[in-house]
């Protein structure tokens, strides 16, 4: 049997035709799954009981199970989710303006990149997530928000949770295609961002797909610092990485977003800022500065406010658009780099 949420529209059509159904049935089932968010075939009321019974025999609908949810004092909501095999992942809803939310999605159970400042890396890599598990996070969030309006309040998606998207590119691209279907979740590609720390294989394929904006977890102004704090990502030399980014296909008015995590005494000096200007000026870009959120046992500290402001001033003075991104959810360990799926730790923090 198959989790029907793992099927693309084309695969669903093939599946239903294989059951002896007409192609038009595909649109009906798809909309029940991705527009009305049903969790049982019995809820598909415009489909005959005979067809529903056949679907019960050949397939099932399974969402991730919500183990715990936590709400930060700033309104950020973090879910700990259990997948079909018991694996645990986290996803975060981030409040924005006018009552709208962005969602930070995970795409792998754990992460193989082991960046030294990221809690997720301490889990190691366990496995890739499927479409039903990736987009199941969105279904859980919209159900939680009772988000079924014509203008949904969950508006933006960022693949910045657990895992490296380009190391699960097949399932990420499949999920992006499903996410953009106007018959279902109907997210615009302009409201979806995929982040990478720098994986050579798959970067150009993501760009050519045109399915999402690109964010780059840079975090260092030179190869030496990058190798120190992101040793696995740094295997792709920074000069070569930047050359690939210079040739990355961008739509009209689109820019690459660089994410730069400021680590106290490591990459937050004025000289680091000057190096960073030279580096990212090679591409059409904007920069998000993120102030480090320390976690228990981490080897790094947050930079001083003075250092952050000096760093930003150098960038602005050189014409680089640099925004200090407000960190949200730190009190429930939902901020950048803090996701680590552990049921006991989550319960301890409640």
Question: Is 111 marked as a binding-site residue?
Answer: yes
Cα–Cα distance measured from residue 192 to residue 187, given in angstroms and rounded to the nearest whole number: 7
Question: Is 69 marked as a binding-site residue?
Answer: no
Q: Which helix (H) or strand (E) holds 59?
A: strand 59-60
Quick one: 235 exposed, middle or buried, by C-beta within 10 A (0-12, 13-18, 19+)? exposed
Is 43 part of the annotated catalytic residue set?
Answer: no
Is 104 part of the annotated catalytic residue set?
Answer: no
Closest CA to 211 of 241, 168, 181: 181
Tokens 């159970």 correspond to 109
Any idea how long the chain is? 350
Taking 3-state DSSP, the helix, strand and coil percentages for the chain, each rounded to the nearest 5, stand at 40, 20, 40
CA neighbours within 13 Å on the CB side: how many for 264?
Answer: 12
Tell me the sheet residues that pair with 192.
Answer: 157
Question: Is 118 marked as a binding-site residue?
Answer: yes
Sign of the CA dihedral with 12 first, then 18, 23, and 27 last: negative
Q: At what angle do helices 169-180 and 131-145 cross, to 10 degrees?
A: 40
Cα–Cα distance measured from residue 267 to residue 220, given in angstroms and rounded to the nearest whole number: 6
Question: Is 164 marked as a binding-site residue?
Answer: yes
Among the options 90, 104, 133, 259, which is catalytic?
A: 90
Question: Is 181 marked as a binding-site residue?
Answer: no
Question: Is 136 marked as a binding-site residue?
Answer: no
Among the options 104, 107, 197, 336, which is catalytic?
A: 336
Question: Is 132 marked as a binding-site residue?
Answer: no
Tokens 């994410």 correspond to 259
Binding site: what residues are annotated? 111, 115, 118, 163-164, 195, 217-219, 293
- Residue ranges of the annotated binding site for S-adenosyl-L-methionine are 163-164, 195, 217-219, 293
Known catalytic residues are 90, 336
């Amino acid at each position: 049997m198959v989790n029907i949420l793992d099927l693309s529209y084309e695969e669903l059509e093939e599946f239903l035709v294989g059951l002896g159904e007409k192609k038009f049935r595909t649109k009906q089932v798809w909309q029940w799954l991705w527009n009305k968010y049903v969790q049982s075939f019995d809820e598909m009321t415009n489909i005959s009981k005979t067809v529903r019974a056949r679907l019960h025999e050949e397939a099932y609908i399974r969402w991730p199970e919500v183990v715990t949810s936590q709400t930060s004092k700033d309104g950020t909501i973090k879910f700990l989710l259990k997948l079909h095999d018991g694996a645990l992942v986290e996803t975060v809803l981030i409040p924005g303006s006018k009552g709208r939310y962005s969602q930070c999605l995970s795409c792998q159970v754990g992460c193989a990149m082991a960046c030294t400042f990221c809690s997720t890396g301490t889990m190691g890599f366990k496995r890739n997530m499927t479409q039903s598990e990736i987009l199941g996070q969105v279904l859980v969030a919209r159900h939680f928000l009772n988000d079924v309006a014509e203008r949904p309040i969950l508006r933006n998606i960022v693949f910045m949770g657990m895992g490296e998207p380009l190391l699960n590119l097949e399932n990420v691209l499949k999920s992006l295609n499903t996410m953009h279907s106007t018959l279902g979740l109907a997210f615009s590609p302009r409201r979806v961002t995929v982040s990478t720390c720098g994986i050579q294989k798959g970067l150009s394929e993501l760009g050519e797909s045109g399915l999402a904006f690109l964010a780059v977890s840079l975090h260092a102004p030179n190869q030496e610092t990058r190798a120190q704090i992101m040793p696995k990502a740094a295997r792709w030399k920074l000069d070569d990485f930047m050359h690939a980014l210079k040739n990355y296909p961008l739509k009209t008015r689109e820019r690459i977003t660089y994410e730069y995590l400021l680590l106290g005494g490591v990459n937050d000096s004025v000289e680091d800022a000057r190096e960073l200007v030279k580096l990212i000026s090679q591409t059409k870009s904007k920069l998000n500065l993120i102030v480090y959120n320390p976690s228990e046992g981490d080897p790094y500290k947050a930079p001083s406010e003075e250092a952050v402001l000096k760093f930003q001033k150098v960038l602005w003075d050189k014409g680089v658009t640099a925004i200090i991104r407000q960190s949200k959810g730190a009190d429930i360990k939902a901020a950048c780099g803090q996701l680590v799926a552990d049921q006991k730790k989550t319960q301890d923090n409640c």
